[in-house]
Chain A
Amino acid sequence: MFIEYSEEQNMLRDSAERYLRDNYSFDSRQAAVKQTRGYDADQWQTFAELGWLAMTFKEESDGFGGGALETMILCEQFGKYLVLEPYLESVVLVGGLIEAGAQPAIKEQYLSGLIAGELQGAFAYLEEGGVADPTYVQATAEASANGSEQNSFVLNGKKTVVLNGPEADCFVVSARTGAAADESGSSQGISLFFISSDAPGLTLKNYKTYDGRSASELQLDNVAVTAQALVGELNNGFAIATPVFSRAMVAVCAEAVGAMDALLTATVDYTKQRKQFGQSISGFQVLRHRMVDMFMEIELTRSLLMATAWKLDNNAADAEQCVAALKAKVGKAGRYVSHNAVQLHGGIGTTDEFSVGHYFKRLAVIGAMFGSRDSHLSRYSKLSAELSS
């Protein structure tokens, strides 16, 4: 297997790189963080016009039919420029879930809006006490007593750390519709529901996250939805959620690679220019080797990333195993690279004014998202054992 980009993929990368370099400065990013919305609505609109939001949807959904590789190409550039706009939340997660499993009416009504950048989505799947486990679901969706077509399910419960919640026009919410299997980590009995943000009984508590974005606590009090709101199969929402999570992990890992690249470049530049003890500190061997180790971590991660995206697009038998390997590797490399970038910058690396610390915080968030390094290491071992048996 050799990984080569197609001409279209090269063009996508080059145009994303060029657009962000010319139009997405760190200063304008920081100005957007301080606004209530937390990102730049004009940028989002431009992303839509450039076709980025449509890139990975099927042609019958008015997309361009791209896959994990296209997700990777875009997100790597997003990471490099610390892009705030909710591509992961709105397009990869909610767009992916709706395309894969929403009923035709919902799909028709919302998917084109998400692709056009007119609507925003958020996936509410985490709950307090078990954030490390997306199958820990206590929220319930009960088939409504009167059984009328209008109110088929009533949802109750609480979701935590719903990324992009404050800006979302619609949510996909996980809720329990059946009993869990005895086996731990089983997703049996969990269903996904589409809920509009103006649904009665839905309450949000909004806040900022350390990486400059926003999230919500979501309270569901007797939120009534029709059977049309079911996304994916009843009691088996994870059949569509699992591949969407895999795509989302490729997205954040690509972002991590872009962010690490930017950190290494910044660190190399800074150490060349910073003089202590009468010389550039880049001349000290201990620092040179540190930067070489950063470089090696990044390139190894990039190889895993490219292979994983390719395997997902080609339905390779070991694709999921590679996703676990990639997320675990990003956990380790992200820490190594960001910690040392801050360390080699010294004091200024710890300030809000300088970009290095913001890359560090984004990498910390990515590392903790969708399962830590440890959980993916054990997933990797389990999947390896299954594949070899």
Chain B
Amino acid sequence: MTDNVFRNEVRAFLAESLTPEIKRAGELMTSVFADFDATMDWHKTLHAKGWLAPDWPQEHGGTGWTLSQRYIFQEECKLANAPALFAMGLQMLGPMLIRYGSAEQKDYYLPRMLSGEDVWCQGYSEPGAGSDLASLITAAVRDGDDYIINGSKIWTSYAQHSNKIFCLVRTSKEGKPQAGISFILVDMDTKGLSVEPIVGLDGTVEQCQVYFDDVRVPAANLVGAENQGWDVAKSLLEFERGGHNFTIDHKKQMAKIDRQASTQLSGDGGLWKDNLVFEAKLADVAVDALALEFTELRVKGAFVAGGNAGALSSLIKVMGTEIGQRFNELSVEIMAEHAFVKQLDALLPGFEGEAIGPSCGLTTMAEYINNRAATIYGGSAEIQRDIIAKRVLHL
């Protein structure tokens, strides 16, 4: 099948399967997360079609698509305003279990992940262990056939909607900090586990703090061997970085700016799109976005040839997030005072009232605010630059 035939097939599927409600949830995204219910509806639609986990091997539910087809699918989904699926299970834990999990773990967890029965969150960061993740102290102590976990995890995205959490825990204080970390799967219903929501700057809850107070977990829930968790986690971080196509996000942002600049007056007597200063600034960011697009294609080319992204994935993360933030700033500039208006109800897919201000600016401020976190999570911009300094420049 040629790529164009495939693209048309994807488009036809999206046209018939994306209900107005699901699509609305995608349009109203102000961070990497969409409305929970709509996202799970879309998850189930894709599961029924067999297109939920294109990156997985076929025997576990993957599609067997080429890399190029997977990219086309991602691109078409985003451009059609499909909500982003929750990545913690499908993009992160899934591939990792396939690589490191036992046969029992794969048989049990992977189908439940695909069906949507299990919703996973990630327990890595701790109040005292962020950029320096290896210094984590949440401890799992062996007790017969179980571990007993005590401690706390923070920045746990959508923990309030999840029924399972995968965690990095300390199982040994010997040797290097990385050498005493294990990877374990925990049922959120377990006694002693509690979730406290963290209100974000836009006034909504995406993050949580998760507390472990003598939480008893079967030792069989360990993924990989005891004290081998760091290697497992490192492979996951590679998935996290390599799994994101910033170019598609940037194209969506540019399309949004185009709608805003074509309808709003700049104060110079014309529309923003006719304002030369603004257009020059937009072009400046667009050129960087274009350079990043070709960098992403280079990385994909390297994958096809059997290589890997290496430290280019750090470059993509730094530049992808920083370019996205610059687009956010341009949007705020166009929307001016209308950007101030806080109307969280109008950002819900089911909202039927009349929103304040032009519809093209509804999400602008929340996106700008929420996207500040993009250069913090998943390895901060500073940490990514350190990685490039060490691995590429050998400094």
Question: Do A352 and B265 form a contact, CB below 8 Å, given A347-B155, A364-B368?
Answer: no
Shortest B380–chain A CB gap in Å is 7
Question: Do A351 and B198 form a contact, CB below 8 Å, given A130-B264, A361-B369?
Answer: yes
Q: Is the beta-carbon distance between A217 and B356 smaller than 8 angstroms?
A: yes
Tell which of A286, A339, A358, A378 touches B372, judged by Cβ atoms closer than 8 Å: A339
B78-86, B291-299, B327-335 - the one binding chain A: B327-335
Question: Do A352 and B380 form a contact, CB below 8 Å, given A210-B342, A347-B130, A368-B332?
Answer: no
B373 interface contact, C-beta 8 A: yes
Chain B residues near A205 (CB-CB < 8 A)? 356
Tell which of B266, B342, B368, B381 touches A132, judged by Cβ atoms closer than 8 Å: B266
B132 interface contact, C-beta 8 A: yes
**A123-175 CB contacts (< 8 Å) to partner B:** 126, 128-133, 136, 160-161
Shortest B259–chain A CB gap in Å is 14
Shortest A126–chain B CB gap in Å is 6
Q: Is the beta-carbon distance between A352 and B203 smaller than 8 angstroms?
A: yes
CA distance A309 to B137 in the complex (A): 53
Tell which of A160, A342, A346 touches B131, judged by Cβ atoms closer than 8 Å: A346
CA distance A236 to B380 in the complex (A): 53
CA distance A75 to B357 in the complex (A): 29
Tell which of B263, B375, B382 touches A287, judged by Cβ atoms closer than 8 Å: B382
Q: Is the beta-carbon distance between A277 and B202 smaller than 8 angstroms?
A: no
Chain B residues near A364 (CB-CB < 8 A)? 332, 339, 365, 368-369
A207 interface contact, C-beta 8 A: yes
CA distance A50 to B199 in the complex (A): 36
A215 interface contact, C-beta 8 A: yes
Tell which of A217, A346, A350 touches B200, judged by Cβ atoms closer than 8 Å: A350
**A243-285 CB contacts (< 8 Å) to partner B:** 275-277, 284
- Consensus secondary structure, chain A interface: mixed
A377 interface contact, C-beta 8 A: yes
CA distance A347 to B200 in the complex (A): 10
Chain A residues near B199 (CB-CB < 8 A)? 351-353
Q: Is the beta-carbon distance between A343 and B337 smaller than 8 angstroms?
A: no
**B251-272 CB contacts (< 8 Å) to partner A:** 263-270, 272
Closest chain A residue, CB of each to CB of B334: A132
Chain B residues near A132 (CB-CB < 8 A)? 264-267, 272, 334, 336
Q: Is the beta-carbon distance between A210 and B333 smaller than 8 angstroms?
A: no
Shortest A372–chain B CB gap in Å is 5
Closest chain B residue, CB of each to CB of A381: B277
Closest chain B residue, CB of each to CB of A331: B333
Please count the residue pairs between chain A and chain B whose beta carbons lie under 8 angstroms apart in the complex.
163
> What are the interface flags for A348-366 relative to B under an 8 Å C-beta threshold, 1 for contact and 0 otherwise?
0111110001101100110
B201 interface contact, C-beta 8 A: yes
Chain A residues near B278 (CB-CB < 8 A)? 374
Question: Do A335 and B329 form a contact, CB below 8 Å, given A347-B130, A347-B376, A361-B369?
Answer: yes
Q: Is the beta-carbon distance between A209 and B342 smaller than 8 angstroms?
A: yes
Tell which of A160, A184, A377 touches B277, judged by Cβ atoms closer than 8 Å: A377
Tell which of A136, A211, A346, A357 touches B380, judged by Cβ atoms closer than 8 Å: A346
**Using a Cβ–Cβ cut-off of 8 Å, how many residues does chain A contribute to the interface with B?**
53
CA distance A287 to B381 in the complex (A): 12
Chain B residues near A215 (CB-CB < 8 A)? 340-341
Chain A residues near B369 (CB-CB < 8 A)? 210, 357, 360-361, 364
Q: Is the beta-carbon distance between A207 and B267 smaller than 8 angstroms?
A: no
Chain A residues near B270 (CB-CB < 8 A)? 184
B343 interface contact, C-beta 8 A: yes
Q: Is the beta-carbon distance between A374 and B356 smaller than 8 angstroms?
A: no
Chain B residues near A358 (CB-CB < 8 A)? 201
Closest chain A residue, CB of each to CB of B361: A131
Closest chain A residue, CB of each to CB of B125: A347
B281 interface contact, C-beta 8 A: yes
* A-B CB proximity, top 6 nearest: A184-B269, A276-B132, A133-B267, A352-B199, A130-B265, A132-B267
- A-B contact list, 22 entries, CB within 8 Å: A126-B337, A129-B265, A130-B265, A132-B272, A133-B266, A160-B338, A160-B357, A205-B356, A207-B356, A208-B342, A209-B342, A276-B135, A343-B375, A347-B207, A347-B377, A358-B201, A360-B369, A360-B372, A361-B369, A364-B369, A365-B339, A368-B332
Additional A-B contact list (14), CB under 8 Å, known A126-B337, A287-B382, A343-B375? A136-B267, A160-B357, A205-B356, A276-B129, A276-B130, A276-B131, A343-B381, A346-B376, A347-B155, A350-B370, A357-B201, A361-B369, A368-B340, A374-B281
Interface residues of A (CB under 8 A from B): 126, 128-133, 136, 160-161, 184-185, 205, 207-211, 215, 217, 275-277, 284, 286-287, 335, 339, 342-343, 346-347, 349-353, 357-358, 360-361, 364-365, 367-369, 371-375, 377-378
